[in-house]
Amino acid sequence: MAVLVGKKAPSFKTTAVVNGGEMVEDFSLDQYLGKKYVIFYFYPADFTFVCPTEILAFERKMTEFDKRNVAVVGCSVDSKFSHWKYLQTEVNDGGIKGVKHPLLADQSKTIAENYDVLAGEYEYDDDGKISFEGTPRAYRGLFLIDKAGIVRHQVINDMPLGRSIEEALRLVDALQYFEKYGEVCPADWHPGEDAMKETQEGVAEYLSNH
């Protein structure tokens, strides 16, 4: 798996469905540079089982992400038409109606490949013919990208394992606290708790008090 932390987030342009049903061409995360943090997450497929629990959970926390100046953007290898249908389908019928944050279409699978979350890979045989080995879907990748476009956190879950949206918020809080105060955040840190100076003395002081 590629480690993108500390590197510029791979750039792309693709079709997205935004505001619950509006199709937008040439959607890019570059629009947030210098303006917003980004939680960019991948999910395996529309109309599956774990995926709607995550997508709806992100949407329910959108007020919290907005408070932190964070854009939340989802992506799968489905088409824009599949996304649109998914967004128009009632939750009780297996859809995600009510979700407003952008869902990106990655039918070419190049975005998933560039973020190294594609479950499988293309291979060539001796005759030069290309085939895909594996499941042509994305793992549950999540990337926290700062306002400069640098990846500051990534986590990749296998398809059966749903993510914690609360943990995504906690990591945003930790990053923003560090940027504001210059102190680093220890294990399981939450806003309002002690952080520490990035020195041996700072660590010793923190550990002596906890």
Tell me the per-residue pLDDT of 135-184, one tens digit each, with 9 for 90 and over.
889 999 999 999 999 999 999 999 999 999 999 999 999 999 999 999 99
Q: Give the pLDDT confidence score for residue 1 in this predicted structure.
A: 64
Which two structure tokens, joined as six digits, stand for 26? 């040439």
DSSP state of 101: S
Which two structure tokens, joined as six digits, stand for 69? 């100046």
Q: Give the pLDDT confidence score for residue 28 in this predicted structure.
A: 98
CATH architecture of the domain with range 14-161:
3-Layer(aba) Sandwich (3.40)
Q: Give the pLDDT confidence score for residue 205 in this predicted structure.
A: 83
Count the Cβ atoms, other than its own, within 10 Å of residue 1: 10
**185 included as an active-site residue:** no
Residues of the chain with pLDDT under 50: none
Q: Is 38 left (phi over 0), alpha (psi -120 to 50) or beta?
A: beta
**How far is Cα 53 from Cα 57, in angstroms, rounded to an integer?**
6
pTM of the model: 0.94
Catalytic residue among 4, 9, 29, 51: 51
Q: Where are the alpha helices (DSSP H) in the chain?
A: 50-60, 62-67, 80-88, 110-114, 165-181, 200-209
Among 1, 197, 201, 199, smallest CA distance to 112 is for 1
For the chain, residues classed under CATH 3.40.30.10 are 14-161
**How far is Cα 113 from Cα 105, in angstroms, rounded to an integer?**
13
Residue type, 154: Q
Q: Give the pLDDT confidence score for residue 141 in this predicted structure.
A: 98
- With a pLDDT cut of 70, the percent of the chain lying above it is 100
**How far is Cα 196 from Cα 19, in angstroms, rounded to an integer?**
40
